[in-house]
Every structure is written in C-alpha cells, then in structure tokens.
Amino acid sequence: MGLKRIGIFGGSFDPLHCGHISIAKLARKQFNLYTVYIVPVLDQWLKGHDLFAGAEDRLDMARAAVTDIEGIEVSDIDIRIGTPTYTINTIINMRKNYKHIGEIYVIFGDDTMETIGNWYRSEDLSKLANIVFYKRKNRNAILDTNLYPFTSPPVFIDGPYIDLSSTKIRNLLSLDLSVSGLVHPKVEEIILKRNLYGRIRT
C-alpha cells in the first residue's frame, strides 16, 4: 500500500453526532482523503471542561456511528496512550502507528482559529499537517482572522453551517426527549442501554 492522504478529526465526541459525521464526509470529499480518523480524546485532556461519558463509552459510540461508513474510521490512539496529549502529539503518534499515512489534514472547528496560536508547539502544526476548519459559527459571524498565527490564509471545509452540538444532544436526553435522527441509531442504543446523559443538565 502506498502512502495515503488522511484526515484527523479529534474531539471529546460526548457524544458523536450526525453533524460530526457530515463534517468528516465533507472533508474527505473536498480534500480527497483516503480515510478520516475520528480521534476521541482522553478524559484528562479537557481539564476544566465537563466530559459526561467516560473514554470507553465515547469510543464505543464513535465506533458504532461509523461502522458502516466507507472512509471514516475511529482511532483510539489518544485514549490508548493513557496520558493527556496535545494535537501535535496526536499527529506524530498517528504517523508512527499508521505506516500508510502520507499527507495529513487536521480538522478543527472555526472557533479554534482565534486560540490555536496559544496551543502547545502551535508553530509546528502547519509544518506537520494541513489545517482546515469547519464552520461552527453562523456564516454572518465575524472571526478575528488577525489572531490566526499562520502565514497562509485559513482553509475552510465547503458546506453548510452545522447547527448541532453534543451539548444540544445531552440537553435533549436530560429532558427525556428524542434524539432520533441527530445521532446514529446504534449510538442512541448505547446511550439508552448504559443510561448515559439521562440525568445531566448542561
């Protein structure tokens, strides 16, 4: 197998929803990616933020959501390492562990544009991977691109504004409302069977 162009889409995925899947599909098509890897983070990585489901539950939900989708896979590399990791570490570790990887595209929400310059070894990110963004904010919202640290202009995934979030999913579940059509049926099955999110209000 020759080297393949791949995407890395990291996040808490608490839970992974249909909006995430749409983003991965759009990125795969636009940038001609062989595979987009969904990479759930380990719990400790988001210190100061609430993660409501454990690492294994989030990993299981992500795997269930993509099991029948061509070109989208789940990597447990961040969770398997067992310690907090930074994006730069994920990129390096993916390349070490997946020998077929050539060019890498890393997918972020556009809200990270204004903070990515403060990330660990941010100056190396654009040297090791192509950075692309999906629109989490309304298209009419103005992003402060002056805070974007890289010399090349930001690249966006073509597609609609994704008006869906894991917070919205959790809120619906906490009110015993249906999330049918918002998450994969197998994800909903795991949530209900394991009683995830049911008593949480965010």
Query: Is residue 13 in a domain?
Result: yes
| Residue 45 predicted with pLDDT over 80 | no
Predicted model pTM: 0.90
Query: Is residue 104 in a domain?
Result: yes
Mean pLDDT for the stretch of residues 73-79: 95
Q: Are 177 and 191 in contact (CB under 8 A)?
A: no
C-alpha span between 131 and 113 (Å, rounded): 10
Query: Is residue 200 in a domain?
Result: no
Query: Is residue 20 in a domain?
Result: yes
**For residue 201, what pLDDT is reported?**
44
| Residue 140 predicted with pLDDT over 60 | no
CATH code of the domain covering residue 169: 3.40.50.620
Alpha-helical runs (H) found in 76-198 = 77-81, 87-97, 122-128, 166-174, 185-193
Q: Which domain holds residue 43?
A: 4-193
**For residue 81, what pLDDT is reported?**
85
Domain total in the chain: 1
Percentage of the chain lying above the pLDDT 70 cut: 88
